[in-house]
Structure 1
Amino acid sequence: MKTLKYFYTLIIIVTLFTGCSDDSDPVFEPNPVEGLEKIYEFTAEEYSLELYSDKLNLEVGYNEISVRIKDLANNEYLTNAEVSWMPLMHMETKEHSAPHSTLDNSESNSVYSGTIVFQMPGNETEYWDLELTFKINGKVITDTYEITVLQPNEDQKKLQVFLGNDDNKYILAYVNPKAPEIGINDFTAVLYKMENLMDFPLVENYSITVDPRMPGMDNHSSPNNQDLVYNATSELYEGKLSLTMTGYWKINLKLINDEGETIMGKDVSESNSESDLYFELEF
């Protein structure tokens, strides 16, 4: 009889707990921009436009940027807008754009993410602005905002703008590793061709040889590096970078087109200590 009472008591307790765990319990959604810095907030009519980055500022070189658009009427972020952008540098004698991707919200529907490769910083007389356009419910809103682009604090070459021996101008930018470590690092870069002052298409299916050296340590190299090859899914050049110790490294590079011709860069040898195409890092 006691066993039966315990059984009924257990049923009542389970029922009570089940009844309390209903849809009224709060649901905590992850913050889609957690870990990012909000570097700008602009206003466009009845909307607020927020720009986020993993850096404190926009810098010369490769920048990953996220855009959120808030409807100020209901304080909700747009998830179904068509968003585009256009960076523009205003120089004293001309204007030009910068290599940039499209904006995509496939990873988080309220965050439109993309990249811009700024070729130069602004100064007292020359500056960058960013045109942002979005379409929502058949309405198109466009506005332009001045932005600040700085030279990175670290005195390391992470961007190369050069004329290849095929008479084309290229923009090669370092992407990863952001925090290099001793060992084998995933190594990525992005490559664009300058068709004119406003158009910078991605360069596909070239290759980039990788030869890291330590100039302060008899210019020694490292084992198990892998050359950069194009990945059509990520739209990046991907390889492996072997770093055997901390310190200053010069990553000597050589750009080779899809016909096997060298476009820029030199092999490192006893008579040639460095390539004229390279990245630098120190950790």
Structure 2
Amino acid sequence: MCEVIVTTAGRPDEESFRLAKQVGDDLHVPFVPRKKRSVAKLSELYKANVMVAGKNRLEYYGKGSSAPFFFHPDTAAFRLKRLQRGETEPFLEACGLEMGDSFLDCTLGIGSDSIIASHVVGDSGSVTGLEVDPVIAYIVRRGLKEYETADAVLKGAMERIRVINCEAVEFLKRQPDDAFDVVYLDPMFERTIEESVNFESLREVGSHHPLTEAWVREAHRVAKKRVVLKAHFRSTHFEEFGFERKVRLTSKFHFGVLEKR
């Protein structure tokens, strides 16, 4: 993990100090008092990424970055609303998820797709999300449990997701055959797919692992039903790794499906 420090918001109270110190202890990173210094100044002084523990959310600034990464359900909130209105969801069509299924997201990131999956598989199913960066995993894990919303459906879907800080191929190699119904791959490629500011901040502080033959092979072994890939519409990975491309004419990204049987 790169050098990381944690500090308080600009005008901290006792609760802010308590929260910042707790985050520092949880992540085993040093707590640095703010002392009215800017995030940019702290990052420069300590040559580190900076975690700001505020009252309402945790913000994570990469060195030289002006926009922080923080947890937010992002597109999941309005996608759930569309599902409740009976509209279709390309992600779900590709995954073929059903109530009670187990879903493994090898590239959790902000977790929007996993939230949709969690809603569909329900209490009888399970959603596990892998995130290789320990700080991102920590922020998303807490965010999924603590994000305040009056939407009970969204809240329930978020709370059911299990977040594991682990590299995907390493995790897959430890799993038995057919361990999850659907295994999902959405690696960060050289071309930007998402347009949200928070996704851009994730690109700056997150870890980037290219898709490999070993990754696809292990995912296929662990999947009981299918492996699903999300990638830019110009990506050659669909054909390279044997996925059936689901063309979406008006979208910047496509889904690919690799059936188990």
Smaller-chain TM-score bracket: under 0.3
Query: TM-score of the superposition, structure 2-length normalised?
Result: 0.26
Higher helix share goes to which structure?
A: 2
Larger radius of gyration: 1
Higher strand share goes to which structure?
A: 1
Query: TM-score of the superposition, structure 1-length normalised?
Result: 0.24
